[in-house]
């Protein structure tokens, strides 16, 4: 029998963290993100319409998955003999710290293309509609890590997402700034055929492909 030191294959250079990152949103009419990096392993420019939501709380971008299943039980079996996935929903929770046109639109649910500052005072007024329409976005979150060979990019793309929840907003003079905490839920984009896509790339990623088993 092989000794444990021979059998195991622990590689600490494959442990990833997201040292920083951003979440970008675009109107649902914008092109989907089809690739994150180019032949030189550098990040590609995003399609037209994508805007960075800016600084977020140090919780970063919190992805959750809610998976539901249906079990078949059988006579004489002490565990399910069949299990089918009936629902697999991805949500993204972010606490946005910047006050800008994009964070205001996402939090209020208002179409900001029709909102313009007062030409004299610069004041902006946003009226919450009685029944806010369900607006869909393309949402891309990119996290950046560092490897020995350079940056490593990990991204999750929701081609069709909407705001499904908002958390409380506090006005105070404490340590936390005024935030815009929202939860986005991803849905299937029928034209693309998926509800979420993962991207991994960068020079640091390419250098580790063999060690990762590719």
List pLDDT tens digits, range 35-52.
Answer: 999 999 999 999 999 999
How sure is the predictor about 2, in pLDDT bands with cuts at 50, 70 and 90? confident
pLDDT of residue 84: 95
* Residue 125 falls inside a structural domain: no
* Averaged pLDDT, 166-170: 91
How sure is the predictor about 174, in pLDDT bands with cuts at 50, 70 and 90? confident
Q: Pick the residue with more confidence: 176 or 95? A: 95
pTM for the full predicted model: 0.93
pLDDT of residue 128: 86
* Residue 112 falls inside a structural domain: yes
* Residue 71 falls inside a structural domain: no
* Averaged pLDDT, 137-157: 97
* Residue 167 falls inside a structural domain: yes
pLDDT of residue 191: 96
**Is residue 28 over pLDDT 80?**
yes
pLDDT of residue 1: 75
* Residue 77 falls inside a structural domain: no
Tokens representing residue 15 in the block = 């442990």
* Averaged pLDDT, 152-156: 98
Nearest to 63 by CA among 150, 186, 164: 186
pLDDT of residue 83: 95
* Residue 193 falls inside a structural domain: yes
pLDDT of residue 213: 96
Range of the domain at 23: 18-31+56-64+90-116+136-214
Tokens representing residue 25 in the block = 């949103």
Domains: count for the chain: 1
Neighbours of 95 (CB within 10 A): 20
In a 13 Å sphere around the CA of 203, the CA atoms on its Cβ side amount to: 7
* Averaged pLDDT, 137-150: 97
Are 161 and 75 in contact by the 8 Å Cβ rule? The answer is no
pLDDT of residue 133: 83
* Residue 176 falls inside a structural domain: yes
**Is residue 65 over pLDDT 80?**
yes
pLDDT of residue 130: 83
How sure is the predictor about 197, in pLDDT bands with cuts at 50, 70 and 90? very high
* Residue 185 falls inside a structural domain: yes
């Amino acid at each position: 029998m092989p000794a444990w030191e021979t059998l195991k294959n622990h590689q600490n250079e494959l442990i990833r963290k997201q040292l920083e990152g951003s979440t970008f949103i675009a109107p649902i009419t914008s092109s989907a993100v089809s690739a994150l990096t180019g032949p030189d392993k550098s990040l590609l420019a995003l399609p037209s319409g994508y805007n960075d939501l800016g600084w977020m709380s140090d919780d970063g971008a919190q992805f959750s998955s809610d998976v539901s299943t249906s079990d078949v039980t059988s006579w004489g079996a002490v565990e399910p003999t069949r299990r089918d996935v009936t629902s697999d929903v991805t949500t993204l929770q972010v606490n946005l710290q910047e006050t800008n046109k994009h964070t205001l639109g996402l939090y209020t649910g208002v179409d900001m293309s029709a909102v313009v500052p007062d030409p004299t005072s610069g004041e902006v007024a946003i009226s919450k509609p009685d029944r806010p329409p369900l607006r869909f976005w393309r949402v891309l979150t990119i996290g950046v890590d560092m490897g020995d060979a350079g940056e490593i990019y990990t991204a999750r793309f929701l081609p069709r997402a909407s705001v499904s929840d908002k958390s409380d907003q506090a006005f105070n003079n404490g340590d936390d700034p005024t935030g815009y905490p929202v939860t986005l839920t991803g849905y299937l984009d029928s034209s693309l055929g998926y509800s979420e896509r993962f991207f991994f790339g960068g020079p640091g990623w390419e250098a580790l492909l063999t060690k990762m088993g590719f």
